[in-house]
Amino acid sequence: MTKSIFIASAEPYSGKSILALGLVNMLLARAQKIRYFKPVISSAEQPTDPHIQAVLSHFQLKQPYRDAWAFTRQEALHYLKDHRQGEFLDQLINSFKTLEADSDFTIVEGCDFTGSGTAVEFELNRLMARNLNAPVILLVSGNHKTAAETVQDALNFWQAYQEQDIPVLAVVINRLAAAEVAEVREQLAAQLPTGILTAVIPADKALENPSVGEIFNRLGGRLLFGETLLENPVDNFVTGAMQVPNFLNYLKENVLIVTPGDRGDIIISSLQANMSTSYPRVAGIVLTAGSVPETPVMRLIEGLQVVVPIMAVNTGTFETTNLVAGVHSRIRPDDSKKIRLAIETFGRYVDQEALNEKIVLHRSAAMTPHMFQYQLTQWARQQKKTIVLPEGDDDRILQAAARLVAQDVVKLILLGDPANIAASIKRLGLDLDLQKISVVDPAKAMQFEDYVQTLYELRKGKNVTPEMARDLMTDVSYFGTMMVYKGEADGMVSGAVHTTQHTIRPALQFIKTKPGISTVSSIFFMCLADRVSVFGDCAVNPDPTSEELAEIAISSADNAKRFGIEPRVAMLSYSSGTSGVGEDVEKVRRATELVREKRPDIKIEGPIQYDAAVDPVVGRQKLPDSEVAGQASVLIFPDLNTGNNTYKAVQRETGALAIGPMLQGLNKPVNDLSRGCTVDDIFNTVIITAIQSQDETA
């Protein structure tokens, strides 16, 4: 079951409040802790966002107002304009997950589409829905549209979300002319996939049109009469600038009259018309140009026991009329009548049982890079481990260390000269408190002699002398690995400066492999736009045998599961199924059989080509009976040449984030970096090393 749902519209004034209020009301019947989240609000200048406050106050949701939003519209647009989308998403996900952690269900409301830049807000909604991994209800306005236009807008809207594999639970049409309802409902049912729920809500003036109070707040005038009548609905407005007989012909139901304050004749005739059974109801009167009726007229109005709100404004008649025309109704926290009507409307036109069933049954395997990174950080923080970084004098290592310490996810040991490291921190301008990390100079460390003796005892059978052990222990890779071996550090990350062999050789010599595993291999977590795949082995074994390939597949599947990815293993080759022959294909076919023999619980397919492994259409064509083809999450390459080039090609051509390599098979975690690594690479590798080390002490 999903724990969240995202309301997305494609235009302003589509009526998101109806869905928000209706959903909260529906879900409160099934769960206690409902939370409401509107990531982007129009402005922080107002005391509160009316949408948020209406939901929180009416249902008395026990969450602070500030937790219900993350950015103002201006802040969000600045992040995107400055190409800081990653920072925006990190903050968004953190705010959302913090709220979600204390809830049974969270309702997310997308952008309001206020002001310019609506195309940006359309993309922003898709970006947020995808990265929050929330299924979507699409809301389309049918206001001033034909049935054909409304249906086409709905189909285009759904297609835009379909293109990015964002799951859509329902498409709701709101504010549609009653005459178009049946046709739109029929067309949607015929043209949308059968699994998508549809609902059509006809236009309702009581919900859509503003009240006199809303107009009064917009105009900012002075109320003269009718303080208790500000909830009067305004369905029409007219300018009273003509002779009374002509003016009376323009009165319609719930009309707001805009007229200069010195037109006593219009004012009195309007009040008389409101009292007459022959004329429509008057909602209110706005007196313009900063004038009010003369004293005799005011006495007459008072004596009539006015049942119409009358307000005076300083703006002229033309300007006031334009302002009134621009007022759109929004459900305010104190407008209990409209709130109740919105909830009733949702219940009348949306099949709540069907929607609830879709929510209960919805499962999503989607995983964006930022979601995966957030999840990793949370896992690491649950049980903080100590990671040693042998290359403590490298600028990138120090920058990553500053981020790790600031986020409080691990404990760090840096190897190197303390004075040089302190000088580098100052030169880089880093906010890194040396009191919060350990800095160790291997040659001067108090455990140096003990490490030398331990290395000698472990390696004397390999002709290592005490002098050789002493010389090796001055190497930061050996010293850091020995810290892990001795339990003074839980894991090690190196390779920003040193080669792969330099990094892992000590681990192979005395940390060694886990029982039953003879092959140390590597995997990359390839964070694609909508999922995370595991690639192995792309860094260690040049040309593994069938037996080694089987071990790589088993280790990769187990690690995928450990990191929240359901393992469906594809053993890659240049042919699929039984179509190919040759030594290379046979190696993969034999490795696949070995995995099935050793671990029948693992879903595996091989040999299989890359396209058949990841593309559902191709997978069904080439291997129609496979439970892996087309949906593989773990891809095992037949050799290092293929694996290394493929992961780099995917990374460069798709913009995928590649986290790793993560070494697998060792008794304790030691991970290697590329010498071209970025600060992000170091940060992520330290975190996955910390998570690996949690398993060693579990």
Mean pLDDT, the chain, as a whole number? 90
> What is the residue type of 109?
E
Q: Cα separation of 472 and 454, whole Å? A: 12
Comparing CA positions, the residue from 628, 655, 640, 676 lying closest to residue 536 is 640
Same domain, 186 and 40: yes
Same domain, 406 and 430: yes
* Full DSSP string of 370-428: HHHHHHHHHHHHHT--EEEES-TTSHHHHHHHHHHHHHT--EEEEES-HHHHHHHHHHH
pLDDT value, residue 62: 86
Same domain, 508 and 577: no
In a domain, 554, yes or no: yes
In a domain, 497, yes or no: yes
What residues make up the domain containing 12? 4-207+335-364
Q: Cα separation of 451 and 469, whole Å? A: 9
588: confidence class by pLDDT, cuts 50, 70, 90: very high
Mean pLDDT confidence for 379-402: 93
Look up the CATH number of the domain holding residue 545.
3.40.50.10750
Q: What 3-state class would DSSP assign to 556?
A: helix
Same domain, 625 and 695: no
Same domain, 353 and 375: no
Mean pLDDT confidence for 683-698: 85
Q: Cα separation of 611 and 675, whole Å? A: 31
521-578 confidence digits (pLDDT tens): 999 999 887 789 999 999 889 999 999 999 999 999 999 998 888 999 999 999 888 7
In a domain, 131, yes or no: yes
Cβ atoms of residues 513 and 665 within 8 Å: yes
How many structural domains comprise the chain?
4
What pTM value is reported for the model?
A: 0.70
In a domain, 120, yes or no: yes
Q: Which residue has the tokens 């969000």?
A: 76
Q: CA gyration radius for the chain?
A: 34
Same domain, 348 and 384: no
- Token reading at 619: 């997978």
Share of the chain above pLDDT 90, in %: 57
Same domain, 34 and 94: yes
Same domain, 280 and 360: no
Q: Cα separation of 680 and 683, whole Å? A: 5
590-616 confidence digits (pLDDT tens): 999 999 999 999 999 989 999 999 999
639-665 confidence digits (pLDDT tens): 999 999 999 999 888 888 888 889 999
In degrees, rounded to 5, the angle at the alpha carbon of residue 257 between the alpha carbons of residues 256 and 258 is 120
In a domain, 466, yes or no: no
Cβ atoms of residues 623 and 605 within 8 Å: yes
Look up the CATH number of the domain holding residue 97.
3.40.50.300
The four Cα atoms 510, 516, 518, 519 give a dihedral, to 10 degrees, of -110
Cβ atoms of residues 477 and 511 within 8 Å: no
Q: Which residue has the higher pLDDT, 95 or 517?
A: 95
CB within 8 Å of 176: residues ≥ 6 apart: 142, 143, 145, 150, 184, 200, 201, 202, 203
Same domain, 96 and 184: yes
Cβ atoms of residues 480 and 390 within 8 Å: yes
In a domain, 465, yes or no: no
In a domain, 417, yes or no: yes
Q: Which residue has the tokens 């008395």?
A: 60
Residue 578, Cβ density class (10 Å: 0-12 exposed, 13-18 middle, ≥19 buried): exposed
Same domain, 257 and 194: no
460-485 confidence digits (pLDDT tens): 889 889 999 999 999 999 999 999 99
Mean pLDDT confidence for 201-221: 87
| Helices H / strands E in the chain, number of each | 28, 24
pLDDT value, residue 25: 92
Same domain, 43 and 143: yes
pLDDT value, residue 429: 87
32-79 confidence digits (pLDDT tens): 889 999 999 987 666 778 889 999 999 999 899 999 999 998 899 888
610-632 confidence digits (pLDDT tens): 999 999 999 999 999 899 999 99
Share of the chain above pLDDT 70, in %: 98
324-376 confidence digits (pLDDT tens): 888 887 788 877 888 889 999 999 999 999 998 998 888 776 677 778 888 88
Look up the CATH number of the domain holding residue 313.
3.40.1390.20
pLDDT value, residue 80: 85
Same domain, 38 and 178: yes
In a domain, 475, yes or no: no
User: Which one of 344, 364, 384 terminates a domain?
Assistant: 364
Mean pLDDT confidence for 490-495: 94
Q: Which residue has the tokens 């269900």?
A: 105
140-190 confidence digits (pLDDT tens): 999 989 999 999 999 999 999 998 889 999 999 999 999 999 999 999 999
